[in-house]
Each structure stands twice: as C-alpha cells, then as structure tokens.
Amino acid sequence: MRRWNGWGDDTIEVALGESALDFLRGQIGAGTAPRDAAFDTLCASLPPGRLPAHPLVDATPPARLMHAAGQSLQDWLRLRYGRIGTAPDAVAFPESGADVRTLLRWAADHDAAVVPYGGGTSVAGHLDAVGARPTLCIDMARMRSLVSIDADAQLAVFEAGVAGPDLEAQLRAHGCTLGHFPQSFDYSTLGGWVVTRSSGQQSLRYGRIEQLFAGGRVETPAGPLAIPTFPASAAGPDLRELVLGSEGRLGILTEATVRISRLPDYEAFHAVFFPDWTAAEQAVRTIVQARLGLSMLRLSNAVETATMLTLAGHGRQVALLEAWLKLRGAGSDKCMLLVGASGEKTQARAALKAALSLARRDGGVHVGRGLGERWKRNRFRNVYLRNSAWAHGYAIDTVETALDWPRVTPAMHAIERAAHDALARDGERVHAYTHLSHLYPQGASVYSTFIWRLAGDYDADLARWRLLKTAVSETIVASGGTISHQHGVGRDHAPWLAHEKGALGMAALRTLFREFDPDGRMNPGKLVTP
C-alpha cells in the first residue's frame, strides 16, 4: 500500500542504522520524533466536497485526502501534523481521452479548478488545491496502456498516466527501454515527466524527457492539441516545448509518443575517488566534454561522499576502503564519482575505459564496480530514508539547479553556506551536502541535500523550512542557476521563476496558458502565478 503521509510503499523500510544516527547526532544534534496525525482523523476533518456526484468521480474523504498533497516538505508537514489546509473536492479516474474531455467540460459546468495528478511524487508543490473555486483532481492512474509500438522505428505511444515500472515492463516485452529513470521512477508517470521537464539518472545516454517526448495529445479547456511526431522540424516554434514544463496549466496530456531504444546488452556502473573537489570537477568536465557515450556521471562532493559512506552502514568495509584510498591520495576530502555505461558491449566498455583513463589523469582512483552496482540497486530506495529520518526527528529536503561551468562550484559552496546559516535564528545546524547529478559539456546540475532537526510543531517546522527554502532559492538565482533542473516549479519555486524568465517572458507564458485555458481553471497557483 502506498503511504499516505510519506514516501512510497508501506512495506518498504530503509532504516537509519546506529552509526548513521550517531553521525547525525554529531552533526546536528539528537532528533525527537514528532507525533503523526492519524489518517482517519484527517479524513473526518475535511470540509464537505462542493461538487455534485458524477460516475467518474470519487468524493469520499480518503480519496480526497490521498490526493491533497505531493512529496514537497511543505506537503509532508501538512500531512504529518494534520494541518492539511485544503483538499480537492473530488477525485476522478478517467480511463480514456474521452473521459478526460468529459471531466474538463464537467469542471467548466461547475466552475471548478482542475489539478492533474500523475504519481503524486512532486517535490515542488504541484498538487494542492488552491483558490476559492471547488477543485477536481484528475488522477491519470487508469490510463497506463501501451497504445502502440514500432520497435524498428524506436517509437512507442503510451497513455500518459503510465508509471515508470509499468512503462518499462511493457517496453521490455518488446526488447526496448525508454531509459528514463528519475529517483521517483517507481511512482511518477510519463505525463508527469513531460509536464515537469523531468530528467532521468541516465539522461547522459537517453536524453532528458524533452528529447524523449516526440509528440502527443493534450486535452485543454479550449479543445484538443494534437502534436504529430517528426524526428526534427524547422516549421516554426515547437509545440512540444509549450507542453514540456507546462505543469498542468494548459491542459492534461493524455497520450504521448516517446523515443525508445533497444535494451542495452551491457550496463555497468563504476566508482572512482578523487583526492578533492577541484580535481574531481576538472575530471568530470574533461570526461563529459570528451563525449564518450557514457550513460551516467554523478559526482558527490566530500561531505556527500562521507555522508553516503557512513549512511551505508558497513563500517568495517568502509574503513578498509578509506584506508586503501588514503594510501592512494584520496583522504578526508575525497569525492566519489559514479560512471555508468550502457549499450552495445564493445562500445560501452570502450567508453568506460576512456573515462577511467581520463579520471586517472586528475588523480582519480578506480575502485571497481561494487559501489556503483550498490548505487544502482538502491537508486529508487534511498529516498525512503526520508521516512526513517522523520521517525528519528529529522527532516530531509533537497534543492537542485543547473549552471554553466564557471558558476557550478561557487554556487555549490554558496548554497551549502546559505543552508548552514539558515536556521541560526533557532540555534539549529543544517547538515548539507551536494552532488552534480547530471553533467553537460557546458555545465552541470547541482543537487544539494539538507538534513535538520524537526521542532515537533507544524508552525515552527513550516517556518524553519521556509527560512531554509528561501535562503537556498535566493542563493540559487543569485548564483546564476535555474530555479529547477529536474523537479519543476509548482508552488514552491514559483516566487523565483521571474528571475530567469524576465517580465516579458512571464507575460508571454501567462498569455500562452490563457489561450488554452481562458478561465484559468487548470492547476491554478502553480508555475506562473497571477
């Protein structure tokens, strides 16, 4: 069963071991677990739904509560402390594009706002009901079919509500893969990926969702927008690009054609340790600019490297590894790089060999596949640490941006500094660490994680989160970064969007959305606020 107030499946626990807890206590002090609100109490507290009955619609309190929030820390605070605020008045489960059209008309008839819902994994506040109108949440979970596939042409058409594992399983049956693996893969949906401009962990090979989304169908209040597929086009601005990142503001993507690949016949992830950040950053820049055809590069800074090795919990093995690395020049400032290659075996191995050889020039020490394969095994499980950290009285949140190379390291330092200082008012420390999650020839994404102690009270914890979120977001835009590289804008990042779009760009986006949604009915309050 999906957890209603935390991450993922309630049968999966990823525990924080004693050594990890010791580490956290040392860094930021001992945490105290707050008491969670009960699901039934929250259900009972919901105000009555304001929408009439409809055969496609479920207006029961459990359905409404399960769709009231995503996975942003602000969403968690609302759920955990039972301060849900608003919930949709009803939840619909369409099974076809025709159902979606019916629902959009029904919403218009009742002047309801519409919140499209994919896997519910947004960490930027895309899903809450906002405004005075009643809200209809449209959950796309039942639209998950593979509509058609042409493995020779490497194109597949899916209903947009399909989640990662279901999508990959249906492709695997044809010897194919999409290759899109965000950390939310287990739950997030194709439609969600498209409308939030998602990026998967192996985007270095497969591309971001922008490159994978070839066309599709969007049901908008103004009618359907059908985007045909071409391998490329010079025929004016690309309509796909209006849908990508639209975050539900112009309609609901019901069907998407995606560019698929053959399943790789070889895949490997290797780990390399560098003596320090300067050497590591230099090496990854060299490697990514060499265009070797790798599938992943992921570089942790020294604090993240130390934190990961500690949280892994294999104390004795790690101590041996660290002693060995120290002898080879990678001591306490060491930074871990994961290098992945996927594809045809000869090519993939040649790419790995070339990458490892370039890494060596900057002092990289190759430690083989063990850590890389462990990362791969756990790549969708580490996010469960949010649950166990909460249970010990700690909050975990992340921010991410992307910047041109000259700005990457200064931004990383500035973001961590801003986080460290953000809760000084409360006398609280923030443990902050960072990795470059996606590498590009011209720069990188900077992905920072923050851990701090919960105050045990909704208002106090919301205030702490706001202080921290504001401080790091201001730092991101002041450092020349985008307010999001892969999570989207939603409610939480909206205040900083104008910094990069400019007044004229914001006006253009508003006008554009109004063209498809004249009544401002679609996901109001997200992305572009009035």
Q: What residues between 219 and 248 interact with a copy of itself by CB under 8 A? A: 220, 222-239, 241-242, 244-247
When binding is defined by CB under 8 A, the residue of 46, 141, 214, 355 that contacts a copy of itself is 214
Binding of a copy of itself by 175 (CB under 8 A)? no
Closest listed residue to residue 447, CA positions, set 401, 494, 383: 401
Q: How far is the CB of 184 from a copy of itself (least distance, A)?
A: 13
Site string for a copy of itself, 423-462 (x = CB under 8 A): ---------------x-xxxxxx-----------------
Number of helices (H) and strands (E) in the chain: give both, helices first: 19, 18
Q: How far is the CB of 418 from a copy of itself (least distance, A)?
A: 19
Q: How far is the CB of 484 from a copy of itself (least distance, A)?
A: 4
- Count the alpha carbons within 13 Å of 74 in the hemisphere toward its beta carbon: 20
Strand-by-strand arrangement of the 443-453 sheet: 365-368, 266-274, 335-343, 296-300, 431-440, 443-453, 394-404
Binding of a copy of itself by 285 (CB under 8 A)? yes
Binding of a copy of itself by 252 (CB under 8 A)? no
**Binding residues among 149-168 for a copy of itself as defined by CB under 8 A:** 150, 152-155
Q: How far is the CB of 79 from a copy of itself (least distance, A)?
A: 24
The residues, ordered by sequence, that sit 6+ positions from 20 with a Cβ below 8 Å of its Cβ are 310, 311, 313
Binding of a copy of itself by 511 (CB under 8 A)? yes
Q: Which is nearer to a copy of itself, 50 or 291 (CB)?
A: 291
Q: How far is the CB of 509 from a copy of itself (least distance, A)?
A: 6
Q: Which stretch binds a copy of itself (CB under 8 A): 26-34, 93-101, 378-386, 506-514?
A: 506-514
- Measured CA to CA, the distance from residue 126 to residue 360 in angstroms comes to 43
CA distances from 454 to 18, 25, 428, 462 (A): 19, 13, 10, 10
Q: Which is nearer to a copy of itself, 149 or 455 (CB)?
A: 149
Q: How far is the CB of 355 from a copy of itself (least distance, A)?
A: 12
Q: Which is nearer to a copy of itself, 222 or 312 (CB)?
A: 222
Q: How far is the CB of 329 from a copy of itself (least distance, A)?
A: 24
DSSP 104-125: HHHHHHTT-EEEEESSS--SS-
3-state helix, strand, coil in the chain (%, to 5): 40, 20, 40
Number of residues forming the site for a copy of itself (CB under 8 A) = 91
Q: How far is the CB of 356 from a copy of itself (least distance, A)?
A: 15
Torsion of CA 474, 480, 483, 485, to 10 degrees: -150
DSSP 387-437: HHHHHTTEEEEEEEEEEEHHHHHHHHHHHHHHHHHHTGGGT---EEEEEEE
Residue 130 contacts residue 525 (beta carbons within 8 Å): yes
Q: How far is the CB of 131 from a copy of itself (least distance, A)?
A: 20
Q: What is the CA angle 402-407-410, rounded to 5?
A: 110
**Binding residues among 398-417 for a copy of itself as defined by CB under 8 A:** 402-406
Residue 254 contacts residue 147 (beta carbons within 8 Å): no
At 330 the three-state DSSP class reads coil
Phi, psi of 475 (to 5 degrees): -65, -40
When binding is defined by CB under 8 A, the residue of 34, 49, 200, 343 that contacts a copy of itself is 343
Binding of a copy of itself by 171 (CB under 8 A)? no
Q: How far is the CB of 439 from a copy of itself (least distance, A)?
A: 8
When binding is defined by CB under 8 A, the residue of 14, 15, 263, 290 that contacts a copy of itself is 290
Q: Which is nearer to a copy of itself, 170 or 342 (CB)?
A: 342
Neighbours of 461 (CB within 10 A): 22
**Binding residues among 36-95 for a copy of itself as defined by CB under 8 A:** none
- Measured CA to CA, the distance from residue 179 to residue 168 in angstroms comes to 8
Q: What is the CA angle 179-526-64, rounded to 5?
A: 85
Q: Which stretch binds a copy of itself (CB under 8 A): 35-43, 113-121, 396-404, 451-459?
A: 396-404
Q: How far is the CB of 92 from a copy of itself (least distance, A)?
A: 23
Site string for a copy of itself, 344-373 (x = CB under 8 A): x-xx--x---x-------------------
Q: Give the gyration radius of the chain's Cα atoms.
A: 23
- Measured CA to CA, the distance from residue 141 to residue 116 in angstroms comes to 11
Q: Which stretch binds a copy of itself (CB under 8 A): 56-64, 78-86, 304-312, 484-492?
A: 484-492
Residue 336 contacts residue 246 (beta carbons within 8 Å): no
**Binding residues among 303-342 for a copy of itself as defined by CB under 8 A:** none
Q: Which is nearer to a copy of itself, 64 or 126 (CB)?
A: 126
